[in-house]
Structure 1
Amino acid sequence: MGNVSQQHPYPWPAASSTGVGSWPGEDPDEAVRTVLGELPDLPHLPELPGRGAGADMIGRTGGLLVDLPIEVQPTGWRVVDSPGRDLARAGSFLSYDLDALTEHAHAYEGPLKLQVAGPWTMAASVELRNGQRLVSDPGAERDLAESHLEGVLSHIADVRGRVPGARPIVQVDEPSLPAVLIGSLPTASGYGVLPAVDRVRVETVLRTLFSAIVEAGAVPVAHCCAPSVPIDLIRRSGAHALGLDAHLLDRSHDEAIGTAVEAGTGLMLGVVPSVDGAGMSDPATNVDPVRELWNRLGVAPDLLSRAVVTTPTCGLAGASPRYARTALKAVRDGARVLRDEPRK
């Protein structure tokens, strides 16, 4: 493999580890304290969906939308005429989280990761007033993309004001992106599927968002732990790093990942199970999928601990608090193994 481009050097220290986003429990103070303690090189703002509607991924990002109010219906989040109680709850939850971050991290200096649901996952998840998914209406989807972008930039500015020494990394969560691209989202009736969205349109929206994040002085990361993650599309859209589940990466992904690594794109790779009882191994075994990938790619071993950040395979909201802390220690230990023993 050729020389790796340093067009945008990796925004984290070597041998870094981080969490995907969600965390068990309902206490933002304890969650922020734990994350800062366990992940000193690359902490993230934890999300606590256990608190209920408004703390979930869609509601949390819905609270950032500008002039596009949504509320909870029996079928999920839906566009409404004016903001109500559900959005107020979402705003309060985020405010509590940011207050905890301010209290415990105000003097922190270094990379700090925030997570937002991406525009396509929002469009796939939020309903129009008629009950159909927003992604089914191109005009509504454009409005959402603009509102989302404005809200994300405002969120970055807010965090910058609270933690002046932070270098924000914005993880854009897109679990629904593969379904949007292949046209597998069910219609409101459940009897049909919505057509696939044009790939050029998908890429354009992501590129606009990622470039705006860069202009705001932050680093865009795209996270999707689906087996059919469109790696090339995300890389072309301008994500500086890709968040993937290392256990789902096989030889069919090698060319796309190799191209991304060669272009200087970082990788956040899930190596530790995100729920209790899934069988956590010793640190060296946990990162075996990453070392095997690296060996297949033929990339210089010394680049491994620079390019790769170790993470759990998914958010930890479904884990016990004790397991969640154990998982963060495991990803931290795994990152050190990659630095010290890049090859078996």
Structure 2
Amino acid sequence: MSTDAKFTLPAGAATGVGSMPGGDAREAARTATGAVEALPFLPELPARGPGADMIGRSLGMLVDLYARVEPSGWRFGDRPGRDSRRAVAWLGEDLDALEEFTQGFQGPLKVQAVGPWTLSASVERPNGEAALGDPGAVRDLAGSLTEGLRLHLADLRRRVPGAELVLQLDEPSLTAVLRGHVRTASGYRTYRVVDRQVAEDLIRGLVEAVDVPVVVHSCAPDVPFRMLRRAGVSGISFDFALLTESDWDAFGEAVEGGTALFAGVVPGTDTGLSDPAGSVSGVRALWRRLGLDPGALGTSLAVTPSCGLAGASPAYARAALVHCAKAARSLVDNPE
């Protein structure tokens, strides 16, 4: 979509990051649509094995590029194999379940895929080195991913015609890519730093091609807020506990510039959950410190778990999402 387009969050929105525990697609879809009704999402179930993980799922979406599982991880091959077919089959199962629980649904619906930089850092070329080490391979991968996402989104429009689709790109390795911290296969060296303008342009190209609002998620420290906003993303999703004082200005600029923020404030693994309003007390405090409009809090920021819920128990995963929804509602009812 156009880089000047804005995505408006529903008031009091909460959502999941993507991954859920277990292997029951129907139960995961029931939770992902019922616990966070303002912004439901398509679950990922990595416990099923390779191909259901976020890397494998996204590699299964590629057009004219194929990957298989090797002892060292995912590696490109010259033809679709068992691993690619399994990734496609599991995605189809998850989409069938989502379609079942979104009959008649109208409103925003979030789906996730791994972004081009994290995917490039996570899949190997035939020589065993990451695609990240070859700029041509990165461009090919980004182009294939973009086309695959366009097809994926078209399928979702047919399945859930009332949905306003939102695409989340998972980029947990983006900061490491920008700093040259991704290690080569030997582990003794790192790949060269990727120029920030090159990284920005690649993301912008994907954002403009998919024609839906794009949110970039990273649960790593030092999320590049300003670069992502220049690339035209509509939202940024992050672990709120990892923000430092050096991030505050960029956070405030994002709010004032209309970028939707997805703040991870609820633990992603089993723990005690107390007062939902207390979970967002840090968000309120930062909002006041920056002098931001308290009336805009409930529509500028969505509440999420700190990262995926794959490591949680099914009962906790549902409780955490319900807790996120209550915390988000409290930002509307009591913004100050």
TM-score calculated relative to the size of structure 1: 0.95
| Counterpart secondary structure, 2:101 | helix
Match of 2:319 in 1: 326
Residue of structure 2 in register with 1:237 after alignment:
231
Distance 1:186 1:243 in 2: 25
Q: Which amino acid aligns with 1:323?
A: Y
Partners of 1:237 and 1:224 in 2: how far apart?
15
Give the whole-Å Cα distance in 1 for the aligned partners of 2:32 and 2:119. Answer: 26
Distance 1:283 1:138 in 2: 45
Residue identity (%)? 52
1:222 aligns with 2:216: yes
Structure 1 stretches of at least 4 aligned residues deviating more than 6 Å after TM superposition: none
| 1:164 matches 2:161 | yes
- Alignment of structure 1 residues 183-222 onto 2, 5 Å: 183-214=180-211, 218-222=212-216
Instruction: Quote the residue 2:114 is aligned against.
Output: 117
Q: CA deviation at 1:183?
A: 0.2
Distance 2:240 2:331 in 1: 14
1:176 counterpart residue number: 173
1:273 corresponds to 2:267: yes
Q: Could you tell me how far apart the structure 1 residues matched to 2:325 and 2:265 are?
A: 11
Tell which deviates more after alignment, 300-309 or 192-201: 192-201
User: Are residues 1:315 and 2:315 paired?
Assistant: no
Q: Deviations over 1:47-100 (max 9, x none)?
A: 100100000010000000011100000010001111100000000000001111
The offset of 1:288, in angstroms, is 1.3
Deviation at 1:312, TM superposition (A): 0.5
- How far, CA to CA, are the matches of 2:133 and 2:5 in structure 1? 36
Residue deviations 1:88-140 (CA, integer Å, cap 9, x gap): 00000000011111222131110000000000000000000000010000111
Q: State the alpha-carbon separation in 1 of the partners of residues 149 and 289 from structure 2.
A: 37
Alignment pair present for 1:68 and 2:61: no
Structure 2 residues not aligned, in runs of 5+: none
Partner residue in 1 for 2:291:
298
Contact 2:67 2:76 survives alignment (8 Å)? yes
Quote how far apart the aligned CAs of 1:148 are: 0.7
Alpha-carbon contact 1:106-1:164 (below 8 Å) kept: no
Distance 1:103 1:332 in 2: 22
Amino acid paired to 2:264:
G
Counterpart of 2:158, as a letter, is: G
Structure 1 residue 280: Cα displacement:
3.2
Choose which of 24, 29, 36 in structure 2 pairs with 1:27.
24
Note if contact 1:8-1:264 (Cα within 8 Å) is conserved in structure 2.
no
Kept in 2, the 8 Å contact 1:44–1:113? The answer is yes
Identify the match of residue 283 of structure 1 among 276, 291, 303.
276
The amino acid that maps onto 1:330 is H
* Amino acid of the structure 2 residue aligned with 1:18: T
**One-letter identity of the residue aligned with 1:336:** R
Match of 2:93 among 90, 93, 96: 96
Which of 283-292 and 165-174 deviates more? 283-292
Aligned residue for 1:105, secondary structure, equals: coil
Contact 1:47 1:55 in 2 (8 A): yes
Cα deviation 1:301-342 (Å, max 9, x = unaligned)? 000000000000001010001110110111011011111221
Q: How many residues align?
A: 333
Counterpart AA for 1:254 = W
Q: Which residue of 2 aligns with 1:18?
A: 15
Which amino acid in the other structure matches residue 57 of structure 1?
M
**Which residue is equivalent to 1:3?**
none
Q: Which runs of 5+ in 1 are unaligned?
A: 1-6
Deviations 1:250-302 (A, max 9, x none): 2211111111111110101101000013x433112110121122112211100
Any idea what SS the aligned residue of 1:129 has?
coil
2:230 and 2:237 map into 1 onto residues whose CA distance is 15
